[in-house]
Amino acid sequence: MNVTLTAADGQTFDAYVAQPAGKAKGAVVVLQEIFGVNSHIRSVADGYAAAGYLAVAPATFARVQTGVELGYTEADMGSGFGLKTAVEALPGQGVLLDIQAAVNHAAQHSGGKVAVLGFCWGGLLTWRSACLLEGVSAAVPYYGGGVTTADEIARQPKCPVLAHFGDQDHWIPLEGVEAFKSAHPQVEVHVYHANHGFNCDQRGSFDAPAAQLARERTLAFLAQHIG
């Protein structure tokens, strides 16, 4: 189902919410790629709900454009990159206020701890959430674009982090991954023989074995840190 959430500065935005069958073990905030809260992100949220978690997927483009739901063509990529650039240019805390509101909603409605999990740009936002937001008990960035830059490596997470990368990812060179690992030995880092976007079964870069292994590791990590 879709709900409307309100950030601390009054900004409203939509979020897709997937409910577990029984009492939630905790909650997962799922952060989109640059393609909006599309069918893939909703399916990811549904998957975590099936695993027993309340899943909340906020529309992180809402401050610049509402109702964004893109596919994976070159044109879609261009549109998504433009929207991401606009959100990244927002003053102050920008979209982090919306993610905080999603975390708060997830905590309130699950009655448990909250993890943040995201892909590509959402992976970068997941890392920032781990370092800057309140009430985040675990974070799982998948191929976080920008996480391995010097400014992001300089941040310090306030919760346990599990990071997934691909060794064929031309957006995130392995030397950057090694620098990230060296700076954050407490972060659990896994590198898969896979490309950027390996978790998304709607992309040509989908890698089923890598996606399955990453999900198994993620579910074990969530069980350890949020229940």
Annotated active-site positions, please? 120, 169, 196
Burial class (CB in 10 A: 0-12, 13-18, 19+), 224: exposed
154 close to 213: Cβ distance less than 8 angstroms: no
In DSSP terms, which residues pair with 192 in a beta bridge?
166
* φ and ψ of 192, to 5 deg: -105, 155
**What is the rounded distance in angstroms from the CA atom of residue 91 to the CA atom of residue 182?**
31
158 close to 137: Cβ distance less than 8 angstroms: no
Token pair for 43? 């399916």
Token pair for 217? 């590791």
